[in-house]
């Protein structure tokens, strides 16, 4: 005479589950798995069962499978249906579905006496005494994760910044102007500093502009989303695509939006056709809208800052226009050293830095990769562990054409004076 029946969750049940969750709690303690975790699991079709009585949803058990372990994220019971064995039946049904997924351990974390504690005991769960639950809140919620996946955005690893070798002047500038105000907004506000919302990075190809943008997102723990103008153009027009994408990111609490080769979108209007003017205007409008809210940063990168429409660079749109130049001698030493350590090479770093004037981080990475591969092949051929020499590196360096020619270096210095806003 149960009076209810248990079945699988369907997407139509979502609203009822959320409502039931609000009625179900028996303690004031906040749940370890927040409602956003529950909703994300339901969206992603993790196992979930519901109990229905008289056409109403009166119970739910929500799971999430992670490899061979699964979590019971929630046991919800309508207050009128407590202590009748419904929780136990829901758990058994959930367990049954988990077994099919190869789950070996089923676990949950509950405040003492929260809804479901009795059902868990009855269903054979045993409490583990003497454990302390630790947590640290991150900027991205589980609900965001679903949204991020659909937008093609990801939170880059936080270690990316640390792995950026050399470039200490650029790192210092980006750290102070961008990262610190965004990670210490209260302190910044006390000084009348408004955290930056949009910046341009300019410099020769391969100096690390894209990498810096990703590393900043990693430092902030914010999702990184790149907009590809060429793809947007194919998806029914660049202007419309830009406005749509900027609209989508409004759903995110935090985001770093990155546009590479922005001169393709925001080039000089005078030289452009009317369709192009529409695109520049759309981007300018999007930037204004984007700047309306905190917790977001637009990073635009270009190799050719002089080709940007002056309206684009005007004050009020971008907080900073930061030069990312070719690495100096010291930075080249640091870049080389990071690859030499990995290759187990003991060579004259200063000589390599001397020989690689005009090399970008990308050039140095390429030369180091070439030597590493050749040494590896030598070891395979001879059966003896080969070690690269200084001469091996110098020979490869001589064969590599530096990206930054003398003229480019002069032009970059000139652009830094004319356009840089640091």
Contact residues: ligand ATP, CB under 6 A: 164-167, 205-211, 260, 301, 303, 335, 361-362, 365
Could you tell me the smallest distance in angstroms from the CB atom of residue 260 to Mg ion?
5
Q: Which is nearer to ligand ATP, 51 or 232 (CB)?
A: 232
- Closest CB to ligand ATP: residue number: 208
Q: How far apart are the first and last CA of the chain?
A: 74
φ/ψ (deg, to 5) at 73: -80, -30
**Token pair for residue 211?**
């990498």
Between the alpha carbon of residue 42 and those of residues 37, 48, 147, 197, the distances in Å are: 9, 7, 13, 34
Q: Which does 63 bind (CB under 5 to 8 A by kind): ligand ATP, Mg ion, none?
A: none
Could you tell me the smallest distance in angstroms from the CB atom of residue 23 to ligand ATP?
51
Could you tell me the smallest distance in angstroms from the CB atom of residue 278 to Mg ion?
26
Q: Which is nearer to ligand ATP, 248 or 411 (CB)?
A: 411
Could you tell me the smallest distance in angstroms from the CB atom of residue 238 to ligand ATP?
19
Report the distance separating Cα 47 and Cα 296, nearest Å.
Answer: 34
Q: Which is nearer to ligand ATP, 85 or 157 (CB)?
A: 157
> Interface residues for Mg ion in 255-274 (CB under 5 A)?
260
Q: Which is nearer to ligand ATP, 90 or 167 (CB)?
A: 167
Site for Mg ion contains 304 (CB under 5 A): no
Q: Which does 335 bind (CB under 5 to 8 A by kind): Mg ion, ligand ATP, none?
A: ligand ATP
> Interface residues for Mg ion in 198-237 (CB under 5 A)?
210
Could you tell me the smallest distance in angstroms from the CB atom of residue 234 to Mg ion?
20
Q: Do the Cβ atoms of 350 and 383 come closer than 8 Å?
A: no
Q: Which does 39 bind (CB under 5 to 8 A by kind): Mg ion, ligand ATP, none?
A: none
Q: Which does 32 bind (CB under 5 to 8 A by kind): Mg ion, ligand ATP, none?
A: none
Could you tell me the smallest distance in angstroms from the CB atom of residue 209 to ligand ATP?
3
The count of residues in the chain is 422
Q: Which residues bind Mg ion (CB under 5 A)?
A: 210, 260
């Amino acid at each position: 005479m149960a009076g209810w029946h248990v079945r699988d969750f369907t997407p139509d049940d979502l609203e009822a589950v959320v409502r039931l969750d609000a009625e179900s709690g028996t303690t004031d303690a906040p749940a370890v798995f927040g409602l956003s975790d529950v909703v994300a699991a339901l969206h992603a079709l993790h196992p979930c069962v519901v109990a229905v009585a008289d056409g109403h949803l009166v119970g739910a058990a929500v799971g999430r499978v992670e490899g061979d372990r699964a979590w019971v994220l929630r046991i919800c019971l309508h207050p009128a249906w407590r202590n009748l064995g419904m929780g136990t039946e829901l758990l058994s049904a959930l367990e049954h579905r988990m077994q099919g997924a190869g789950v070996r351990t089923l676990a949950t974390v509950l405040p003492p006496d929260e809804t479901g504690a009795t059902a868990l005991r009855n269903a054979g769960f045993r409490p583990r005494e003497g454990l302390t639950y630790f947590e640290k809140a991150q900027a991205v919620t589980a609900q965001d994760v679903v949204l991020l996946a659909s937008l093609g955005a990801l939170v880059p690893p936080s270690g990316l910044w640390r792995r950026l070798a050399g470039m200490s002047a650029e790192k210092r500038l980006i750290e102070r102007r961008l990262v610190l105000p965004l990670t210490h907004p209260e302190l910044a506000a006390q000084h009348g500093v408004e955290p930056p919302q949009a910046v341009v990075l300019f410099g020769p190809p391969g100096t690390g502009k894209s990498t810096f943008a990703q590393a900043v997102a990693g430092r902030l723990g914010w999702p990184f989303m790149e907009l590809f103008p060429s793809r947007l153009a194919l998806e029914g027009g660049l202007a419309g695509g830009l406005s749509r994408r900027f609209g989508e990111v409004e759903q995110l609490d935090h985001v770093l939006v990155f546009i590479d080769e922005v001169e393709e979108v925001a080039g000089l209007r005078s030289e452009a056709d009317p369709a192009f003017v529409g695109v520049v205007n759309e981007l300018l409008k999007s930037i204004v809208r984007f700047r309306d809210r905190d917790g977001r940063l637009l990073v635009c990168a270009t190799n050719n800052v002089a080709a940007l429409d002056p309206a684009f660079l005007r004050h009020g749109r971008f907080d900073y226009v930061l030069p990312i130049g070719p690495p100096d001698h010291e930075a080249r030493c640091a870049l080389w050293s990071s690859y030499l350590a990995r290759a187990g090479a003991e060579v004259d770093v200063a000589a390599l830095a001397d020989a690689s004037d005009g090399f970008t981080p990308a050039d140095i990475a390429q030369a180091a990769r070439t030597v590493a591969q050749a040494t590896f092949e030598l070891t395979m051929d001879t059966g003896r562990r080969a070690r690269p020499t200084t001469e091996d590196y110098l020979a490869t360096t001589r064969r590599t054409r530096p990206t930054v020619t003398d003229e480019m270096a002069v032009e970059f210095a000139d652009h830094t004076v004319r356009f840089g806003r640091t």
